[in-house]
Amino acid sequence: MLVLIPISETERRTGYCRQHLSRLEKRGLFPRRVALSTGRVGHVESEVEDWIATKIKARDAGTAPAVNSPSRPDKAT
C-alpha cells in the first residue's frame, strides 16, 4: 500500500527544508512530490525511505560525498 506523507514529515525525516528539497527534486536528486490539493504537496513514504537508505548505503560504501567542515581559526582573546 502506498502512503503519502506531508511535506512537513518529509522535512523532519530528511532534515532538509522545503526549499532545499525542491532544489534536489528539480535536479532529479530527490523523489518527485505529489500534489494533494491546491498548495499542499506530499511524498510517497516508500520513495523517501528508499532515498534515505541509498544515502546510508553510499556512506557505508565510502562513496558518499565528503562533508566539509568549516574551519575557523580560534580567536585570540
Q: Which residues have C-beta within 8 Å of that of residue 56, sequence separation ≥ 6?
A: none
- pTM here? 0.79
- Domain encompassing residue 9: 4-61
Residue 76 lies in a domain: no
**Residue 34 maps to a domain:** yes
Residues 6 or more apart from 17 whose CB is under 8 A from it? 11
pLDDT tens, position by position, 35-72: 999 989 999 999 999 999 999 999 999 887 766 655 54
Q: How many domains does the chain have?
A: 1
Asked, for residue 74, whether it belongs to a domain, the answer is: no
Give the CA radius of gyration of the chain: 16
